[in-house]
């Protein structure tokens, strides 16, 4: 079962604050995602030079290699002179660990290859960037480009946005063909009841395509009457609500589905007193059901003095030993006081 796509008008429910946004988006949703005509598709990708500096898991104990149930397999601080590089809010990685696609929360695609030394990520190569486009082929602008959640499946790349809350799809069959993605126009998923009422900067950040084709969408700041995070299961039959218990001031920022149907959830916490922290939790497939409250177990919490920033993107691929290789990236908010980090881990699930 897969999720449905809209062929009717996008509803702008909060008309006054979103007037400029509605004008920029136009009035009609697309009938289908498609490649741009040749004359529009000529706005191609731009090469991006990215340098990488290794970072330890714990700067005060550089020999440390474990946290919670995870084994640290290396990390990088990524830098670039390109003004568009940064703000990483979504990441998907090909199963062989080579090709990746990422996005910033300013509506920019990034693609490239991960370079390895002795099975550890040592840098990025062949990095390119291109603007996300709406269904008319126009690059997104500041009024509609707050892209936050990213998922990849048989139907392509799916992106959730904040501000003007919505979910769009872009056609893509393989992560090693990113130039095709750069030329795609958007297709809107049917509007979800209640999504427009979410906090402007607290919409769907965690997005994962499940093994059965449904989308799991978890909000950052939407809360039920019981104080749990608002979430939806999205299929061709529409969107069905469910929820996720939250704790410790952590908020969902990304998610990725595992091959057995479980979901790996990334959460972030920030305090002026203690700084940034991240938490990885596992949501069991059995608890992902309409109307239910998903149950999650903590795999690891990373907080100072360990290496951490505003972690907003997570991807996972199978490891040769039956475990998973996990990639976590940070959104530096284009702030000189923050960093773009790429941290990698190995996780070996225990029998249930």
Per-domain boundaries in the chain: 19-29+44-347
**87-103 pLDDT per residue, tens:** 999 999 999 999 999 99
Rounded average pLDDT over 1-11: 42
173 exposure class (CB count in 10 Å sphere: 0-12, 13-18, 19+): exposed
CB atoms within 10 A of CB 171: 18
- The pLDDT of residue 339 is above 50: yes
Band of residue 316 on the pLDDT scale cut at 50, 70, 90: very high
pLDDT of residue 20: 34
Phi, psi at 297, each rounded to 5°:
-110, 145
Query: Which residue would you say has higher pLDDT here, 27 or 175?
Result: 175
Share of the chain above pLDDT 90, in %: 76
CB 233 within 8 A of CB 283: no
115-142 in b/e burial notation, b at 16+ Cβ within 10 A? eeeeeebebbeebbbbbbbbbebeebee
Residue in this structure with the two tokens 């900067």, named with its chain if needed: 201
**202-239 pLDDT per residue, tens:** 999 999 999 999 999 999 999 999 999 999 999 988 99
**112-135 pLDDT per residue, tens:** 999 999 889 999 999 999 999 998
Terminal Cα distance for the chain, rounded: 27
- The pLDDT of residue 195 is above 80: yes
Rounded average pLDDT over 271-290: 95
Mean of the per-residue pLDDT values of the chain: 88
**301-313 pLDDT per residue, tens:** 999 999 999 999 9
Rounded average pLDDT over 14-39: 38
CA 74, CA 319: separation in Å to the nearest integer?
Answer: 15
**102-115 pLDDT per residue, tens:** 999 999 999 999 99
Cα separations in angstroms, 168 against 60, 189, 195, 221, 230: 43, 6, 14, 20, 19
pLDDT of residue 194: 93
Q: Which of the listed CATH numbers 2.120.10, 3.30.300, 1.20.272, 2.60.40 matches domain 19-29+44-347? A: 2.120.10
């Amino acid at each position: 079962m897969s999720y449905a796509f809209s062929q009717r008008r996008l509803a702008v429910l909060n008309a006054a604050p979103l007037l400029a946004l509605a004008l920029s988006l136009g009035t009609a949703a697309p009938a289908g995602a498609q490649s741009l005509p040749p004359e529009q598709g000529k706005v191609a990708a731009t090469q991006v030079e990215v340098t990488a500096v290794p970072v330890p898991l714990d700067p005060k104990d550089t020999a440390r290699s474990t946290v919670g149930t995870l084994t640290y397999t290396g990390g990088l601080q990524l830098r670039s002179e390109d003004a568009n590089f940064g703000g990483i809010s979504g990441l998907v990685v090909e199963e062989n660990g080579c090709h990746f696609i990422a996005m910033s929360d300013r509506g920019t695609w990034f693609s490239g290859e991960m370079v390895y030394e002795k099975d550890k990520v040592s840098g990025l190569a062949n990095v390119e960037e291109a603007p996300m486009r709406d269904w008319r082929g126009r690059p997104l602008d500041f009024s509609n480009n707050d892209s936050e959640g990213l998922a990849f499946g048989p139907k392509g790349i799916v992106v959730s946005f904040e501000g003007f809350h919505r979910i769009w799809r872009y056609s893509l069959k393989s992560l090693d063909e990113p130039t095709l993605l750069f030329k795609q126009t958007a297709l809107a998923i049917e509007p979800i009841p209640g999504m427009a009422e979410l906090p402007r900067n607290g919409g769907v950040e965690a997005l994962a395509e499940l093994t059965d084709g449904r989308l799991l969408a978890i909000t950052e700041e939407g809360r039920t009457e019981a104080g749990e995070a608002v979430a939806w299961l999205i299929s061709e039959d529409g969107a069905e609500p469910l929820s996720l218990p939250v704790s410790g001031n952590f908020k969902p920022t990304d998610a990725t589905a595992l091959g057995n149907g479980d979901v790996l959830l990334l959460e972030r916490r920030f305090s002026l007193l203690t700084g940034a922290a991240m938490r990885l939790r596992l949501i069991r497939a059995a608890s992902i059901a309409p109307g239910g409250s998903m149950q999650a177990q903590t795999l690891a919490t990373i907080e100072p003095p360990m290496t951490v920033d505003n972690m907003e993107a997570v991807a996972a691929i199978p490891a040769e030993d039956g475990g998973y290789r996990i990639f976590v990236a940070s959104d530096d908010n284009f702030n000189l006081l923050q960093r773009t980090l790429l941290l990698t881990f190995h996780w070996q699930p225990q029998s249930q």
